[in-house]
Chain A
Amino acid sequence: EAEVAQSPRYKITEKSQAVAFWCDPISGHATLYWYRQILGQGPELLVQFQDESVVDDSQLPKDRFSAERLKGVDSTLKIQPAELGDSAMYLCASSLLGSGRYTGELFFGEGSRLTVL
């Protein structure tokens, strides 16, 4: 069964360092999402891509966060510099939105857990 791949699963870094997360969506999924899930809270959308274009990045802290999906397939989320409050699970998801076969379902990866010391 096709899955959304994310790496690394775990990342420990010191504040002010740079960190990057990678996501490979399910093949054929035009839309890719990055969510942040702080412990004890629900996921919050950071950025949404359709193909290589940003659809929504209204909640992305653009002074330190950046995201790209250059060829409309895999994506990278970067944080520079990392702050203590960035400790969270970063979830990538993909969907068929934009392909004409959207059912409303998002498919999530296992996430990348970031700890900032």
Chain B
Amino acid sequence: AQSVTQLDSQVPVFEEAPVELRCNYSSSVSVYLFWYVQYPNQGLQLLLKYLSGSTLVKGINGFEAEFNKSQTSFHLRKPSVHISDTAEYFCAVARGFGNEKLTFGTGTRLTIIP
């Protein structure tokens, strides 16, 4: 079975500073990785995904993530954050494409300090 660990439950960052949200996964087979964002009182929205190919994945709102198979990580980064990035971020993993069950991490709450 796969699992996802988000090491930081809360990350405060000053506006315009860079941020990295960490995600590690465990799985005995090939995986597909996702980052979802949840703004206050809203549902989850896909930020980016890694299915295959280039290990550096770019998503919406200036976010990117790098798949590192040797370290079993998929950390999310943004070079300069904005107040509007305040949200909960969830890393998720699936073993298969099409019949998978997404397993979510516990989330990281990103707070932007003006």
Contact = CB atoms under 8 A, between A and B. Distances in A.
Report which residue of A45, A106, A110, A111 has the largest number of chain B beta carbons within 10 angstroms of its beta carbon: A106
A49 interface: no
A104 B49 contact: yes
Contacts of A93: 43-44
Q: Is the interface of A mostly helix, strand, loop or mixed?
A: loop
B46 A106 contact: yes
B28 interface: no
A106 B90 CA distance: 13
Contacts of A109: 43
B32 A108 contact: no
A91 B105 CA distance: 16
B51 A104 contact: yes
Contact of A42 (B32, B97, B98, B107): B107
B97 A91 contact: no
Contacts of A111: 43
Given A40-B106, A97-B98, A104-B97, 13 more contacts: A41-B106, A41-B107, A42-B104, A42-B106, A44-B104, A48-B101, A102-B97, A102-B98, A105-B49, A106-B44, A106-B46, A110-B41, A110-B42
